[in-house]
Amino acid sequence: MADMQRVIYFTQRPHGMVTRDAFEIREESMPRLSGDKDVLVETVYASVDPYMRGRLSSGKSYTAPFEVGKPMTGAMVGRVVDGGRTALQSGEWVFGSWSWSEYAVLPETALRRLDPSLPPTTALHVLGLTGLTAYVGLTKFGRPQAAERLVVSAAAGSVGSLAVQIGRLLGLTVYGIAGGEDKCRWIEHQLGAEKAFNYQAPDFADALARGLDSGVDIYFDNVGGTVTDEVMRHLNPHARIVICGQIALYNQAQPTQSRPLFSDLLVSRAEATGFIVGEHQEEFPKALKRLQSWYRLGQLKVEESIVVGFDQWIDAFLGLFSGANRGKAIVQVKDA
Amino acid sequence: MADMQRVIYFTQRPHGMVTRDAFEIREESMPRLSGDKDVLVETVYASVDPYMRGRLSSGKSYTAPFEVGKPMTGAMVGRVVDGGRTALQSGEWVFGSWSWSEYAVLPETALRRLDPSLPPTTALHVLGLTGLTAYVGLTKFGRPQAAERLVVSAAAGSVGSLAVQIGRLLGLTVYGIAGGEDKCRWIEHQLGAEKAFNYQAPDFADALARGLDSGVDIYFDNVGGTVTDEVMRHLNPHARIVICGQIALYNQAQPTQSRPLFSDLLVSRAEATGFIVGEHQEEFPKALKRLQSWYRLGQLKVEESIVVGFDQWIDAFLGLFSGANRGKAIVQVKDA
């Protein structure tokens, strides 16, 4: 094993659109086991997620901002290189949260051994926080009733594509919104949405109004901005809006103004709730059981957008905001 | 009794600020009892309310729009002129909803006899829909916890002034927002708010930021617009926003744009709910019992802004949108 490894540092807060200038790759010495409970892992798969953009800013957010001058951190799937005196064996797959680095030393308690009967990357999406976010958001805050109409924005994204499918499995009629005709056809044909609307199309607002002429009972919102402005015109009475993300706004130096959405809520006696899944851990066991069961039965399609190589890590993160991805963005840092 | 009476008709939908042009006073023949269950009442006190502005427009709203060419209708307190064959006696005070007219004929079942031990106008505010709106909104959707911080907009208005006081009686620390220093001092000294902020002051946003430096747990919103934009910057985690009215927007031909409020909800994992009290009648008995008990003990101050004379009716309604009123606006149509 090498003496040195690469680590990605956060070096400068972005103002507006985040660029490579926010990051720096540094070489540093390999971390070493220092206590009885320590484990050395190599990073095989790294998750890059839109919420991380919020942590790059110093403003009020739901997670603490990343510290300038410290390594980036995130959810990872790795392999044990040296289990030390712990119960973990070399070669075992583990899940955890650590630095954007090739290797990391963590206490055994910070690692979760993965079920070898499942593909390891599922811990980063359908059977991880992504799947939990879609399931808990939709069930706890959407409170779906049989045969209701669900609209999902960023429906080709990691959380959105699962929200579409979970909605369908729960018996809802599901509409997706995404950027581009290809994504829309994929959402209809592969994810089973009733219809998908391309927000880049010039007639988006009209197409949405026609398609949603029976109204919206649940809106699972990942994007905010003008897409949300349009969806909010079509609420049914007592609709529920699940605010999961507002990716359209994350990179704006000056947020765009919005229609008066509280008027929509009043007129429709509707409810909008922002949530982060980490605050609802009591829901996790039941949610994971259900997600696993659906996944094993082949009822949840998962699209992975995997880029290979440590060098691609920063670009994979930046790509989240260009709308190019479909499904879950993952960096494969080492050979699996 | 005269053969003719005056009735106020709605004759033209306003676009933007409502004016007298929307209405017409007509003389018509007195209504007569026509069935065994009919009662003739004279209108003594009439309620004028901001929600009526919504009914003047044809757009999506939570109540059916008023029909052009029909009389205006609203909540009234009247006296029985002729009880016919019903149990109601001449001279008894009754509450109901009828046309903006001097007299009306209604079935007995559409009238509620008032408790003679209470002032009759209380049926139009503290012990009527106004009080119920404040109580149900605050308790059911605000879900107050001991010692939380409540902000009320339009805090000198009919619903707002009760929401401030109910909040205080429930043990909350209450902040009010209103237009003008006089109203603000009244909210502090008479209603018992911790502090009131004048949204017309040039340093409103800064004063609010300083005053709300411990954040907002419940925001009872009657106004929307720029006031709400500012309050929403100061949410505590898991705050609840009770959307009761959006009076700042009712008379706008083109609604002003807003800050991205869904981002605020996401960042604070907060919840915003629009409601109309008429959909929560199961809460009424308990709420009325509590409101009556507070009122009889002198713990709820009620300010009435009474104008006298049928001729003042339309202006009293229009005055709701100029911000001139304090407390509940009532038209005294006949001598009490």
pTM comes to 0.92
CA distances from B143 to A242, B137, B164, B172, B236 (A): 19, 9, 15, 11, 14
- Residues of A in Cβ contact (< 8 Å) with B258: 257-262
Average pLDDT over residues A86-92: 96
Look at residue A206 and tell me whether its pLDDT is greater than 90. yes
B 144-183 → A contacts, CB under 8 A: none
- Residues of B in Cβ contact (< 8 Å) with A267: 54, 60-62, 274
CA proximity to A224, closest of A253, A186, A251, A187: A251
Residue pair A219/A242 in contact by the 8 Å Cβ criterion: yes
What's the full length of chain A, in residues?
Answer: 336
Look at residue A110 and tell me whether its pLDDT is greater than 90. yes
- Residues of A in Cβ contact (< 8 Å) with B239: none
User: Quick check: B249 and A260 CB within 8 A?
Assistant: yes
Q: Along the 336 residues of chain B, how does pLDDT read in single tens digits?
A: 678 999 999 999 998 899 999 999 999 999 999 888 999 999 999 999 988 998 998 877 777 889 999 999 999 999 999 999 999 999 999 999 999 999 999 999 999 999 999 999 999 999 999 999 999 999 999 999 999 999 999 999 999 999 999 999 999 999 999 999 999 999 999 999 999 999 999 999 999 999 999 999 999 999 999 999 999 999 999 999 999 998 888 777 777 789 999 999 999 999 999 999 999 999 999 999 999 999 999 999 999 999 999 999 999 999 998 877 788 999 999 987
Which domains occur in chain A, in start order? 4-124+303-332 (3.90.180.10), 129-279 (3.40.50.720)
Residue pair A13/A57 in contact by the 8 Å Cβ criterion: yes
Average pLDDT over residues A308-334: 91
Q: What confidence tens digit (pLDDT) does each residue in A35-85 have?
A: 889 999 999 999 999 889 989 988 777 778 899 999 999 999 999 999 999
Q: What confidence tens digit (pLDDT) does each residue in A219-275 have?
A: 999 999 999 999 999 999 999 999 999 888 877 777 778 999 999 999 999 999 999
What integer pLDDT is reported at residue B1 of this predicted model?
66
Q: What confidence tens digit (pLDDT) does each residue in A135-160 have?
A: 999 999 999 999 999 999 999 999 99
Determine which helix (DSSP H) or strand (DSSP E) holds A287, and give its type and residue range.
Answer: helix A284-296
Residue pair A189/A209 in contact by the 8 Å Cβ criterion: no
What integer pLDDT is reported at residue A1 of this predicted model?
66
User: Quick check: B262 and A221 CB within 8 A?
Assistant: yes
Contacts of A21 (CB under 8 A, 6+ apart): A12, A14
A 192-231 → B contacts, CB under 8 A: 221, 224-225, 228
Q: What confidence tens digit (pLDDT) does each residue in A18-40 have?
A: 999 999 999 999 999 988 899 99
